[in-house]
Structure 1
Amino acid sequence: MRIMVVEDDALIALDIVSLLEDMGHEVVAEAADAGTAWALASDGKPDLALVDIRLARNDDGGALARKLYDRLGVRSLFVSGSITDDFRRSVAEIEPVGFLGKPVTRRTLDAALSTVQH
């Protein structure tokens, strides 16, 4: 699967990219903020975006995910240490693949990705 990783913590992003590649996925883009993520997604539409809720430049990962879904049809898997029930309700209409707390493990990432249709 072609996956974009949107995470503002460089070490966490590196770990997630490594896990995804070890699992056989292609990481097609990495970004720390919504503007960069949008530009990269527009150029080479990924199959899925892994999106942190709080991004660099005080960007909102939920708003980015909504834009990716509404304009490109790209669904998101949210990866964050601050997922609340209110957040889950606010993004329900964009059909997120799921929600993962940090730290991400191979087991939890594999389980979340197994629900995605190729």
Structure 2
Amino acid sequence: MSDPLRILIVEDEALILMQLEMLFEDAGHEVVGTAVSEEEAVALAIETRPDIAFVDVRLKDGTSGMKAARAMRDIAGLTVVFLTANVRMLPDDLDGAAAVIPKPFSEKVFGAALPFLEECVRRPPPSMDRPPGVRLAPWYLERIGLRAAQAAAELP
């Protein structure tokens, strides 16, 4: 494995947050910070400069993971992956996030998603196929150089 990904987790459910930390660290990656609100997420993204952020759509005190994702992308140039049980509520372009993984997720889904997303961030286009359970935004497919046929395969 190359250098570990530097990961920011934005999740307000303590048990899910702990599970994610464990999954990322067990896979050899470094969790550089955790946040439970939009404001915290943006501040940590600026401070820690992670490679990628995994963001819940609904955060503490009703703050928005989508607003946090847009701000982190615009201010820090960060690649964002949404984690949500409300995938159908997201627009087709994923509101600026690169990808979405639906909740509930399994260790198997994350085990397949992490190497794929690492290639997307570090060595695009990825050499491996998109794993089941990961949907990429059409704009991100273009950005990382995947073909239109692959983009069509992203539709649910």
TM-score (norm 2): 0.68
CA offset digits 1:56-113 (Å, max 9, x no partner): 01111111111111111101111011111x5132535x351x2111122222123333
CA offset digits 1:15-73 (Å, max 9, x no partner): 01100000011000001111111111111111000000000011111111111111111
Match of 2:130 in 1: none
Match of 1:26 in 2: 30
Highest RCO, 1 vs 2 (Cα 8 Å, sep ≥ 6) = 1
Task: Single out whichever of 34-43 and 101-110 deviates more from structure 2.
Answer: 101-110
Structure 2 SS opposite 1:88: coil
In structure 2, stretches of 5+ residues that fail to align are 123-156
C-alpha contact (below 8 Å) 2:81/2:97 kept by paired residues: no
Change in 2 beyond 3 A, CA 1:38/1:95 = closer
Q: Report sequence identity in percent.
A: 34
> 2: CA distance between counterparts of 1:49 and 1:63?
13
Match of 2:103 in 1: 102
- Which of structures 1 and 2 has the bigger CA Rg? 2
Aligned residues: CA RMSD: 1.5
C-alpha contact (below 8 Å) 1:4/1:30 kept by paired residues: yes
TM-score (norm 1): 0.89
Matched positions, count: 115
Q: Runs ≥4 in structure 1, deviation > 6 angstroms?
A: none
In structure 1, stretches of 5+ residues that fail to align are none
